[in-house]
Structure 1
Amino acid sequence: MTNRPPSEPESSQRTALGFDEFIAIMVAFATIGAILFWSFSRRDSSWNLNGLLSPSSTPSRSVQPNQVLPFPTGKVEPNAAPKNVLPSSPPEAVVEPKTPELPNNSATSSGAVLPSAQVIPSQSPQTPVSSSTGLESSITLSALPLVTPAKQKSIIPPPIAFNDVPNNFWGRRFIDVLSSRGILQGFPDYSFRPNQPVNRAEFAVILQKAFEQEPSKTAIAFQDVPAKFWATSAIDQAISAGFLKGYPKKTFNPQQNITRVQVLVALVSGLNLKAPTSPNQILSVYKDAKDIPTYATSKIAAATANSLVVNYPNPQILAPNKVATRAEVAAMIHQALVKRGKLERISSQNIVRRRSLSPKLSPTPKQNLKGNLSTGG
């Protein structure tokens, strides 16, 4: 046998870690774990490094909106939220670590940090997103349409289509205006009964709805108006507002039909219209002016001067003592609301209007004074 050089001794096994080395490794892992825990817990603040910098530190350059600044590690957080700015959180400045090679500008020399929009890297399709984050993203990213204020629609409902008021009826427009505002109502069979008389209790209810009177504080206890009468409150308000008056011995006569002259006197009294200086000249337009009661002369002249009188079929026939119909009451109530400025005028040949006289064409004593008044819209 030939002598061979002795073989190299086998490498000895690794010596077991010492106590100091074990402690160093544990400290290293704990440090790495703390850094990772801190980084994941700060992902909602978009890696805001303002807290790490001293109050005197300033950014080297301004950060523009929608600009992604590179981090020193060059890594993107895996669980980052979508690229958006939540409206509920205020914008925060993303500050890049100060580098000595970049010059300071005037903004940095003053020590002010300019706020900019918070920008977060976009999310990869494979990264799961929590339900709350996805909901906020869908709300923020959904485009809200611009709403242009449209023309305000009328809140007045259409008039009631009464089956007994044809389109060519003389008082149709007056009835339509009042019925659309709930001042006048029909009967259960969808009729209006325009030629039906109106009693004093019904007229008080119409006044209550037309002029929105306040509840009466001092009511008169009429002997013929029970406390639970259906029109008691309306009668009290009409009395307190000055539209109506009672009769002697504390009576009201609620079932008595009201005449045309009484309707006009009530409206002039409730509106507190002043009597004209020459009532007889104004009343001369009516062919039946002699039928006007003496107590109502000045009131009817005031009603004529303020276009409250509506006569059908002949505008020159007042018929003061005739029982007023529902259509006639509707027309006169309409004109009173026009005088109050609540309604617009309606052109009608049945409205008696006063025509102002020209100074150069003043009538002579022999001239017909009916020229002072005209009919029509």
Structure 2
Amino acid sequence: MTNRPPSEPESSPKTALGFDEFIAILVAFTTIGAILFWSLSRRDSSWNFNGLLSASSTPLPSVQPNQVLPSLNPKVEPNVVPKTVLPYPPPEAVVEPKTPSLVTNSAAPSRAVLPSAQVIPTQPPQLQTPLPSSAVLDSSIKSSALPLITPAKQKSIIPPPIAFNDVPNNFWGRRFIDVLSSRSILKGFPDYSFRPNQPVNRAEFAAIVQKAFDQELSKTAIAFEDVPTKFWATPAIDQAISAGFLKGYPKKTFKPQQNISRVQVLVALVSGLNLKASTSPNQILSVYKDAKDIPPYAISKIAAATTNGLVVNYPNPQILAPNKIASRAEVAAMIHQALVKRGKLEAISSPSIVRLPSASPETSRTPKVKLSPGGSSR
């Protein structure tokens, strides 16, 4: 019996890998790799592999193509498009996604780089910061086309007249007294009375003239023998004398306590305002039934007062009563008419005001008194 060489040992099915098994394993790995690559390259995939593929402890935010990144402002919720619409889209605000690709790092095969995208700036450099409200207001005022109007000087507010307890509503001189008392030209007494029928002396009339007319005081004043330096009406008397309203008496006397008559009041107003009569004095004075009682020195002055509407007669407009002592109500009425002539007050209607009719062939010979409309006096 011949000896054989030992034959090679037969392969064990437990240790040897067959060709078919190798092919099956290769196909399985290839299929798994294809599925993994396909799942990572999908655009609309909602899977987040950042935590699995990234070696860092902080996960990266998922960025998808054509997706606007949220603002860095913590008050704004992510993935919410702001309602404010810019007038023009800044080029930095557009996200330009690149082609997604999976790049494998040789040093770290398990890390994958996600598709890159531009970050939207929260505040583009082109946008201006909003101005404060005061600056916007100032700029709007400067750019306004309307001209700025400077307010005019505030007009003086005239207080209401004083309700004197002894001047009834139906009193003939009530309206004259109300106008002058509201302007502090005439004042009442501490007991809220006006005493309209009380006479007026020369010192009191000088004080009324001083308040009614703004006349410059003359540098040279007459030192009257009967007017003390510390007398309460000395400044008013000096001003009335310097303005031409009043005159003194011989021997440098003024007689401040003497009551003033109606004719003296009219002469003083005509002299101080420098009024003239346009026609013959005698023709004008014929309207008065007592024209003969007018003193000769006052004829031209009373004619000028009648022509300019300064004469106020109550109860009969045709009765002048030139030598009668003037009352406070009569002085108030005549001072009021003088201020109307100066343009300081508005005219009022009263049947007591003497007015001449307009000159005509029929009325030029015999002037008649024309009463003002307005009904009964107040």
Alignment partner, residue 211 of structure 2: 209
Matched, 1:231 2:233: yes
Letter in 2 for 1:374: K
Of the candidates 199, 202, 211, which is equivalent to residue 200 of structure 1?
202
Distance 1:191 1:322, change over 3 A: same
Q: Distance in 2 between matches of 1:265 and 1:199?
A: 15
Q: Could you tell me whether the CA contact under 8 Å between 1:175 and 1:327 is conserved in 2?
A: yes
Q: Could you tell me whether the CA contact under 8 Å between 1:291 and 1:321 is conserved in 2?
A: yes
Q: Distance in 1 between matches of 2:339 and 2:360?
A: 29
Shift >2 Å, 4+ stretches: 66-78, 119-122, 136-144, 147-150, 361-364
SS in 1 for 2:326: coil
Of the candidates 215, 226, 245, which is equivalent to residue 243 of structure 1?
245
Deviation at 1:156, TM superposition (A): 1.3
Of the candidates 273, 282, 299, which is equivalent to residue 271 of structure 1?
273
Alignment partner, residue 281 of structure 1: 283
Q: Could you tell me whether the CA contact under 8 Å between 2:217 and 2:243 is conserved in 1?
A: no
Deviations 1:52-82 (CA, angstroms, capped at 9, x unpaired): xxxxxxxxxxxxxx9578485842359xxxx
Q: Could you tell me whether the CA contact under 8 Å between 2:357 and 2:367 is conserved in 1?
A: no
Q: Distance in 1 between matches of 2:89 and 2:157?
A: 56
TM-score by structure 1 length? 0.61
Deviation at 1:355, TM superposition (A): 0.7
Distance 1:262 1:69, change over 3 A: farther
Q: Could you tell me whether the CA contact under 8 Å between 1:68 and 1:121 is conserved in 2?
A: no
Q: Distance in 1 between matches of 2:354 and 2:89?
A: 83
Q: Distance in 1 between matches of 2:88 and 2:363?
A: 89
Alignment partner, residue 165 of structure 1: 167
SS in 1 for 2:225: coil
Query: What are the residue-to-residue correspondences of 1:118-197 with 2, within 5 Å?
Result: 120-121=128-129, 137=132, 139=134, 155-197=157-199
Q: Distance in 2 between matches of 1:71 and 1:216?
A: 85
Deviations 1:297-336 (CA, angstroms, capped at 9, x unpaired): 1111110111100001111111111100000000000000
Letter in 2 for 1:316: Q
Q: Distance in 2 between matches of 1:309 and 1:137?
A: 68
Query: What are the residue-to-residue correspondences of 1:1-377 with 2, within 5 Å?
Result: 67=87, 70=90, 74-76=120-122, 120-121=128-129, 137=132, 139=134, 155-359=157-361, 361-362=362-363, 369-371=366-368, 373-377=369-373
Distance 1:137 1:311, change over 3 A: same
Alignment partner, residue 27 of structure 1: none
Q: Distance in 1 between matches of 2:88 and 2:197?
A: 83
Distance 1:192 1:277, change over 3 A: same
Q: Could you tell me whether the CA contact under 8 Å between 1:213 and 1:241 is conserved in 2?
A: yes
Deviation at 1:154, TM superposition (A): 6.1
Q: Could you tell me whether the CA contact under 8 Å between 2:356 and 2:367 is conserved in 1?
A: no
Letter in 2 for 1:350: S
Deviation at 1:220, TM superposition (A): 0.4
Distance 1:75 1:195, change over 3 A: same
Deviations 1:149-200 (CA, angstroms, capped at 9, x unpaired): 99x8761111111111111110011011111111111111111110110000
Q: Distance in 1 between matches of 2:193 and 2:91?
A: 83
Q: Which runs of 5+ in 1 are unaligned?
A: 1-65, 79-93, 97-118, 123-135
Q: Distance in 2 between matches of 1:173 and 1:139?
A: 53
Deviations 1:194-220 (CA, angstroms, capped at 9, x unpaired): 011000001001101101112221100
Distance 1:280 1:71, change over 3 A: same
Deviation at 1:358, TM superposition (A): 2.1
Q: Distance in 1 between matches of 2:167 and 2:89?
A: 79
Deviation at 1:138, TM superposition (A): 5.6
TM-score by structure 2 length? 0.61
Deviation at 1:139, TM superposition (A): 4.5
Deviation at 1:255, TM superposition (A): 0.6
**Number of residue pairs matched?**
254
Deviation at 1:240, TM superposition (A): 0.6
Q: Distance in 1 between matches of 2:88 and 2:246?
A: 82
Deviations 1:268-290 (CA, angstroms, capped at 9, x unpaired): 00010113431111111111111
Q: Distance in 2 between matches of 1:209 and 1:68?
A: 74
